[in-house]
Amino acid sequence: MLMSEKKELVMNLKHLSNQDLTSKLKLLVQEERRLNLELLHHLKEIEIRRLHLQLGYSSLFDYLTREFSYSEDAAYQRISAMRLLRDLPQVEKKIESGELSLTAACKIQKYLQIEKKSEKALALVQALELIDSLAGKSTRQVEKELADRNPIVEIHERARAVGPDQIELKMIISEETNIKLQRLKNLLSHKKPKMSYVELLGQMADLALEKWDKAKQRNVSGGAPQKPALGKALSRSLQRHVWQQAQGRCQYRHPQSKKTCGSQFQLQIDHIHPRFHGGSNGKDNLQLLCAQHNRFKGVDLI
C-alpha cells in the first residue's frame, strides 16, 4: 500500500461513526479468520507436494521464516495448527469461527504429539472431546488445562543423585548456549538424527577429554583429494574436500530462482549424476545435501 493510500484510509476511518467502525472491524476479524484457515489449507497442500523442498528450503519452518519473514513463533504456530487440521479435519469450523485460535490449536497439537510419543496417544473420540472442552477458552485457560493433564515442572539449576551411578542435572541456559548446542546436534545429526542432550553432553565430554586430557592430535596428510574408483568408498580426504567446498551446508539449488537451501542438518554426500546411471566418484560429481533434499532428489529419479 502506497503512503498516499494509507493516509486516505486513515482519513476515511476518522469519518466513520462508532457503530460503522465497530461493524467494519467485526467484518475484518471474520475475514482474517477465513484467511487464516485458507492459509492453513495452502500450507497443507505445499507440504503434500513437498513444494518447499523444490523451492530450496529444508522444511516448512525454513520456508515460512526465510521466504515470508514470519517470526519463529508465528511460523511454528501456523505449522502446528495446520497439522492439527490435517490430523483432525473436524476442527476446521472451530478455527474459522474463532472458537479455536491458532495459538490454542498449536498448543493442542503439541500436547497431542507429546502424548503420542509417550505412548499415551488419545483416541480420535478423546481428542475431539478435548478440543470441544477447550473451544472458546482463552490461551491462558487452554495452557492451564493442558498443563493439568501433563504438568510442566519449572526447572532450577541443580545436581542430585538419582541412583548409584546416575546424576540428575537441571539448569537454565542462555539462548547463545542453546544455539551452540543446536549447532553441535546438526554436526552430529548424520550419525544420530535424534540425539538427546544426555547423549550430546557425553559426546562433548569425550571430545574435550580427548583434546585436553590425552593431548592427542591427528596427523592429516596433505595433497589433493584422490579420486576413488567407481563403486569404491569415498576417501576421507575426498569427503573433507566436499564438505569444505560446500562450507558445511546443503548445496541444493532451485533451478529457476537459484536459491540455495543452506541447511546444516543431516548432511549427506550425494552423487550429482547417480552411480546407478553411470556417475563417477570424481569430486566434480559430488555435492553436499541435507537428508530432506537428498530424499527429494531420489523421488525425482525413480
Q: What is the mean pLDDT of each run of 10 residues along the chain (302 residues)?
A: 66 87 94 97 97 95 96 94 97 96 94 84 91 95 89 55 81 86 89 88 87 47 51 82 91 92 92 86 93 85 48
CA distance 106 to 136: 15
Q: What is the pLDDT of residue 302?
A: 45
Residue 155: per-residue pLDDT: 39
pLDDT in the model for residue 39: 98
Contact 272, 286 (CB under 8 A): yes
- pLDDT of 169 reads 83
pLDDT score at 2: 61
3-state secondary structure of 164: coil
**Largest alpha-carbon pair distance within the chain?**
80
Residue 46 pLDDT: 98
Residue 109 half-sphere exposure toward CB, CA atoms < 13 A: 22
Closest CA to 33 of 77, 95, 76: 95
Between helix 102-117 and helix 139-149 the angle, nearest 10°, is 10
Quote the CA–CA distance of 253 and 183 in Å, as a whole number: 22
